Homo-oligomer: A and B are copies of this chain.
Amino acid sequence: MGTKKNGGSINPGVPCLECPLRLSLAFKPISDQHVARIQRMRSGQVLLQAGSAIVEPDLQNAYLYTLFSGWAFRYKMAENGSRQILNFLLPGDLVGLQAAMFEPARHGIIALSDVRLCRFPRRNVWKLFGSVPDLAFDLTWLGAREESLVDHNMLTVGQLDAAERVATLIFSLYKRLEAIGLVHEKSFDFPLSQQHLADALGLSLAHVNKTIAALRRRGLFEWTGNRIVIKQPKSLERAAEIYESTYLPRPLI
C-alpha cells in the first residue's frame, strides 16, 4: 500500500508523429502541424514503477501528463484513513489537469502498473493555451470528460448494489480498453487488486470478494492473475449501469 517515491527515469520518448496511440479510432484526427506543436510542448517521457505517486496530494504540480502506457488511478483520502478512488486512468488519458489548476492538489494519482507518461511542463501548456485555441479547447474538453467519468462513478456508488457496482466497473473498463485496442479475444490486462475495487466502489474488501465470486459463478467473466476474460458480454452489460453507448473520438494531447 505504501507509495513509492522514486523519481522515475526520463527519456526523450517516441516522437509524437509516430505515436502508436494515434492509430486508434478513439482519438480525433489532427494535423501534423498540431502534432508537432504538442511535441514541442512535451519535455520527454517519464517511466514510473507500479505504485509510484504521479501526483501527490497537497503539493504543487509543475507538470501535466498524458498517460502513454499503463494504468493509474486518482484518489482522495478521508480523515478516518479510508481511501476513495475517484476514477481510473488508461492510455491516452490526460493526467493532472485539475492538479495543475489548483495548488495544492486536492487529490493524489498513483500508478497501478508500470507507466510511461508524456510530460508537459505547465508553463509550456499555459503558453500555448493562449496562442493555440484548439489546444485550449481540447484541454477543457478532456477536463469535462474526466468529470463525466467521475459523474458516472458517482451514480454507480450512490445508487447500485454491490453486484451492479462491480459489474459496472468491470464493464466500463472493458469498453474503455476496447476503444483503445487493449482488448483481445474479450480479454485484457487487469492490474487492480480487490482492495482497489473496494476503494473505488465504496465496499469492503470482503464483500467485493464475495460479490466477485458470485459473478464468476454466474459465468459473466473469469479473473486469473492479472487478466480478465469477459465470457458473457451481454449478461455483464445487462448487470451493469452503462456509461455511454457510443464513445466520441476525443483529443489526444
Interface residues of A (CB under 8 A from B): 74, 76, 78-80, 82-84, 86, 97-98, 101-102, 106-107, 126, 129-131, 133, 136-137, 139-141, 143-148, 150-155, 157-160, 201-202, 241-242, 244, 248
Enumerate 27 A-B pairs (CB-CB under 8 Å) in ascending A order.
A74-B151, A76-B151, A76-B152, A76-B155, A78-B160, A82-B159, A83-B159, A86-B154, A97-B140, A98-B144, A98-B147, A98-B148, A101-B140, A101-B144, A102-B145, A102-B248, A107-B151, A129-B133, A129-B137, A133-B136, A136-B137, A136-B140, A139-B140, A140-B143, A150-B154, A154-B157, A159-B202
- Are A101 and B151 in contact, CB atoms less than 8 angstroms apart? no
* Cα-based distance from A145 to B99 in the complex (angstroms): 10
| Given A129-B133, A144-B101, A147-B143: A244 and B106 interface contact (C-beta under 8 Å) | yes
A131 partner residues in chain B, CB cutoff 8 A: 133
Question: Would you give the shortest CB distance from A96 to chain B, in whole angstroms?
Answer: 11
Known contacts A102-B144, A143-B147, then 5 further A-B pairs from the complex at CB < 8 Å, ordered by chain A residue: A101-B144, A102-B148, A107-B151, A131-B133, A150-B154
Q: How far is the CA of A143 from the CA of B148 in the complex (A)?
A: 11
